[in-house]
Amino acid sequence: MTANRRFRNVIRIGPVQVGTPYDGHGREKHTAACTAPRCGFSTDYDSRAAAELAARTHRCPVR
């Protein structure tokens, strides 16, 4: 079963998108996910700054 998340404040930094959803407990989370094919990078952070830093420093292992 997939998670039904509503993202807001979505920005794109290179191939990585950063968005803000609420988790299952109603807490605000910040997600960074790479949109490159076969990359698979996706992480949740507690702060927006951490998610944006991860997006800026992400390097795809697949080229």
pLDDT for 6-51, tens place per residue?
Answer: 888 999 999 999 999 988 888 899 999 999 999 999 999 999 999 9
In the chain, which residue ranges form alpha helices assigned H by DSSP? 48-57
Q: What is the pTM of this model?
A: 0.82
Name the one residue in this structure whose structure tokens are 């080229």: 63
